[in-house]
Amino acid sequence: MRAWVFQDAKQLAKHGAKKCPWSVGWYDARGKKKQKSIGAKTTAKVYARKLEGEAAAGLLKSHERMPWAEFVERFKRDHLATLAPRSREEYLISLRCFNDTVKPRSLDEVDSATVAEFRGKRIAKGVSPATVNKDLRHVRCALNKARRWKLIADRVEFDLLREPERDPPFIDDATFKLLYNAAKAMTQPAGRHYPPADWWTALLTFAYLTGWRISEILALRRDDIDWAKGEARIEADATKGKREARVELHPAVLDHVKNIVGFGPLVFDWPLHRRLLWTHFAKLKKEAGVEIPGAFHRFRFGFANVNVDALPADVLQRLMRHQAAATTRRYVNMAERMRRQDTANRIHVPAFLRKEV
């Protein structure tokens, strides 16, 4: 970077050459032209050399503070616009929460102390560690982008909270059967060449035997199924990780899907507002007498738990399209898995403690 000294034309015309202060000009880290009025020419030259030395050492920071609101708008435009709508909304919720809690005025004043203040205030309000960590991860991503874009020089450190480790609830075979049998009471979607029960049993079977996300199931197109090979293709744009995949479908899934395939492009065409699908699923749970938290994602947990002992770990991870194996492990209820393995009777017991039969 090169800095230069000069006299501003307007100030020169106003004060004359002898009284006009000298200024230093340079381009900041974002490529914006900057200038600062210094005073004497000698002092201006010293300041210019100082700026050049700091730039060579990588220590020069932008002397213009970017307002936090302006940075958030840029982050929305240049990063969030590339994400799926649900992910984009989650980021915006976290950034609004961060802004309302610590009220940062500018981007460069957000540091580790600001992050700690946000974390402490949220915990004091009784917010769960999992929710706080989700917000922290979203803010961390935003600040990492700011560093890559050279809007800030230093990396902001984040300390996540320790979350309680709980075994997640999931749908098992018995729960699935109750929901499946209760589908005969469903009334939507109506006006098709098949009863609503067929649509619901196909959806439930597909979810339980594939582990797909509900958004992926609803986006499945008739042309994405290769009936001869018994495979379904997932478009990259329909997946959370933007990864296209081909999945082999069990004959039971294909048999159910064949009952509802029509001439429209989508296999699981839902004619009502998307939110009403969750409302009708709540009715299905009530009809089945099932009390489980959440909705369709519990089928994904169920898929992981009923297949964890039958499939290699890397295959299960691949089928669930998780980028990290640790994510797949979080879906597994270890207490139930140990019960299925009969660990209490399989662990080693010294001979003198064994009861003779």
342: Cβ–Cβ under 8 A, 6 or more apart, which residues? none
What per-residue confidence (pLDDT) applies to 356? Answer: 64
Q: Which residues are paired to 37 by β-bridges?
A: 23
What per-residue confidence (pLDDT) applies to 11? Answer: 86
Helix (H, G, I), strand (E, B) or coil at 284: helix
What per-residue confidence (pLDDT) applies to 30? Answer: 57
Helix (H, G, I), strand (E, B) or coil at 26: strand
- Asked if residues 204 and 176 have their Cβ atoms less than 8 Å apart, the reply is yes
What per-residue confidence (pLDDT) applies to 74? Answer: 94
Cα distances from 183 to residues 189, 192, 197, 210, 219, in angstroms, run 12, 16, 5, 19, 22
What per-residue confidence (pLDDT) applies to 271? Answer: 92
- Walking along the chain (357 residues) 10 residues at a time, the average pLDDT comes out as 87 88 80 82 91 74 74 94 87 96 91 93 93 95 93 88 84 95 95 94 96 92 92 74 78 95 92 94 96 93 93 91 89 86 86 76
Characterize 130-152 residue by residue with b for buried, 16 or more Cβ atoms within 10 angstroms of its Cβ, and e for exposed. Answer: eebbbbbebbbebbebbeeeebb
User: pLDDT, tens digit, for every residue of 272-327?
Assistant: 999 999 999 999 999 999 998 899 999 999 999 999 999 999 999 988 888 899 88
Which structure tokens are listed for 345? 């009777």
As a whole number of angstroms, the distance between CA 289 and CA 222 comes to 33
Global pTM value: 0.66
286: Cβ–Cβ under 8 A, 6 or more apart, which residues? none
As a whole number of angstroms, the distance between CA 73 and CA 75 comes to 5
What per-residue confidence (pLDDT) applies to 61? Answer: 56
As a whole number of angstroms, the distance between CA 80 and CA 62 comes to 24
Omega within 30 of 0 (cis) for the link into 169: no
- Asked if residues 320 and 187 have their Cβ atoms less than 8 Å apart, the reply is no
Instruction: Tell which CATH architecture fits domain 173-340.
Output: Orthogonal Bundle (1.10)
CA nearest neighbour of 232 among 198, 268, 200:
268
What per-residue confidence (pLDDT) applies to 241? Answer: 60
User: pLDDT, tens digit, for every residue of 228-246?
Assistant: 999 998 876 666 666 677 8
Angle between the N-to-C axes of helices 68-78 and 85-102, in degrees from 0 to 180, rounded to the nearest 10: 170
The CATH code of the domain at 68-148 is 1.10.150
